[in-house]
Amino acid sequence: MKTYTANDAKQSFGMVIDEALQEPVSITRHGRPVVVITSDAEYQEFIKLKEEKLKAEVQKGFYALDNGDFSNRTVEEIAEEALQNYMDKQKGE
């Protein structure tokens, strides 16, 4: 994957778009990757995969409920764990 600094991408945005149509392009800021530019077709494929994964996870949940397999945790405990998982991902852990 080709990588550009944010400033270089800004200076050569047309070229970056042309390259992103061939393969994803990474943009960095202060030496750290911040975004990836990709074609609309590849983005749509990514969204479809995310939706399929979400549907599978929801289906697993319904299956577990149908079989009486569920947690005794409160909604607050589950929400707190989900928030902590999200914060850990943001930190890169």
Q: What is the pLDDT along the chain (93 residues), one digit of tens a residue?
A: 999 999 999 999 999 999 999 999 999 999 999 999 999 999 999 999 999 999 999 999 889 888 888 778 888 999 999 999 988 888 875
Please name the helix (run of DSSP H) or strand (run of DSSP E) that holds residue 25, with its range, or none: strand 25-29
Decide: 43 and 33 in contact? Cβ < 8 Å: no
List every span in the chain annotated with CATH 3.40.1620.10: 2-38
Q: Which CATH superfamily is domain 2-38 in?
A: YefM-like domain (3.40.1620.10)
| Cα angle 40-92-79, degrees, rounded to a multiple of 5 | 90
pTM beyond 0.85, yes or no: no
Angstrom distance (rounded) from CA 30 to CA 51: 33
Decide: 39 and 21 in contact? Cβ < 8 Å: yes
Contact partners, residue 21, CB within 8 Å, separation at least 6: 39
